[in-house]
Structures are given as structure tokens and as C-alpha cells.
Amino acid sequence: MLKVDAINGYYADLHVIKDLSLRIEKREVVALFGPNGHGKSTLLKLLCGLQHPRSGSVYFNSEEITAYPAHKIVELGIAYIPEERNLFGDMTVMENLNLGAYNKRAHGSISQNLEFVFEVFPRLLERKNQLTSTLSGGESRMVAVARGLMSEPSLLMVDEPSIGLSPSLRNSVFEALAKINREKGITLLIVEQEIRDALSMANRVYMIKKGQILFEKPAAEVDIDEIEKAYF
């Protein structure tokens, strides 16, 4: 579904992603681990078109998307949920969700997706007329994920879904992600620091270090010590 071929990416003038290649198959859940500042977020930004690789190529369903702008990539079916959330603070939850379905691909399924989103995050239904700038951290995270789902993606890339959340909220976010994959068949790429949670739902794991893939394994064969060791 997604094929990344030897890309090089920069953050300002820093060479952050170095000749990195990976692939993601349809319906997979792939977890991407790695220490902070080693290129995980930059990698996602390169894949969703917020930044562009200086060399190498990215293919989505065999179409080369390396130089596509972000809005075109959304239209092909890749949704990216930034760690910063980037919600529209002066708009209600509902307005944020509707804007999530801005691209043409999502128009036909707005009501269906809204129903699913409220089923996954019932909390948002209670808050639907509230401005998102007044929501708690956990609720904002839910809106960010829900807004991404509204774009009718076939691949959802989530950056640190659990950061700053209490353990119970973290659980509900991970349960929601699992449900998204199971019921909607949406492929997931998850960048996460909470290794245990992400590992329990992943099919495959990539470990990234210094902008390169350190190893790649089926989740079942990974043991946590091995990952934690790679962090140091």
C-alpha cells in the first residue's frame, strides 16, 4: 500500500532522515518506535506532504506521491494526525469534524463517518457544540483523531496518540484505534512512546534510530527489552 524508497529528509538544515525505506501493507497496524529527535515525526511529515524529501521516492498504491502537496495526499486517502493536533480552536467540535471531510473523496460518506466517529468517541457527541479551544487534552486528542477519520482515509498515520494522556484515556484512545482498524479496515501507522500499548495492537514494528531503520520485525517476535535497549 505504502512504499518508501531511500528518502532523505531535512528539518531546517539538519539531515534527519537518511536513505530510509519502509513498506506498509493493506490493513496492517505498523508501530514506529525510536528515541525522541531521531526523525519519527519528520518521517510522518514527509509522508503526508507537509514536508518533502530531497531525494528518494514515496509510492501510495503504486502512484508516486513524493512531490505531492498535502491536500492532494489527503485526497488519495492518507490522513495524518499531528502530535500538535492543530485543531481549529475557535470552531466547535462539529465544525472541526465537518472540515475533516473537506476533501472530495470524503463528501459522500460524511453522515456515515460521523456516526462511526461518535460511536468510537461518545464523549465528542456530548461536546459537539463546544469550541475546541475549551476542551481538555484528552478530548482534543479525540477530536484530532476523529477529524482525521472524517477524511475517509485508507491509511491513518498517528503521531504520539497517547502523549500527555492519563492511563485510562490512553486506553480508550488505543481501543478506538484498534476498532478503527478492525471495523473499518483502515491501515494504521502509529508513532508511539508507550511501547507496550502500541506493541499489543501492532502487526509489525519498525525501530528508527538516527534517521535510519535499525530493525524491522513482526510484533510477535519483538521483546520489549530489545526495543528499550535500542533507545540508549
Among 19, 36, 89, 220, binds other proteins (CB under 8 A): 89
- According to DSSP, the residues that pair with 20 across neighbouring strands are 7
Among 42, 66, 103, 181, binds other proteins (CB under 8 A): 103
Shortest gap between Cβ of 21 and other proteins (angstroms)?
24
In the sheet with 2-11, reading across from the earlier edge strand, the strands are 14-24, 2-11, 55-60, 63-64
Cα–Cα distances in angstroms (integers) from residue 50 to residues 106, 174, 186, 194, in the given order: 20, 25, 21, 25
Position 11 contacts other proteins (CB under 8 A): no
Among 1, 50, 163, 178, binds other proteins (CB under 8 A): 50
Torsion of CA 221, 223, 158, 105, to 10 degrees: 10
Shortest gap between Cβ of 232 and other proteins (angstroms)?
32
Q: Which is nearer to other proteins, 177 or 222 (CB)?
A: 177
Position 71 contacts other proteins (CB under 8 A): yes
Among 84, 126, 223, 228, binds other proteins (CB under 8 A): 84
The interface with other proteins within residues 125-184 (CB under 8 A) comprises 147-148, 151
- According to DSSP, the residues that pair with 204 across neighbouring strands are 30, 218
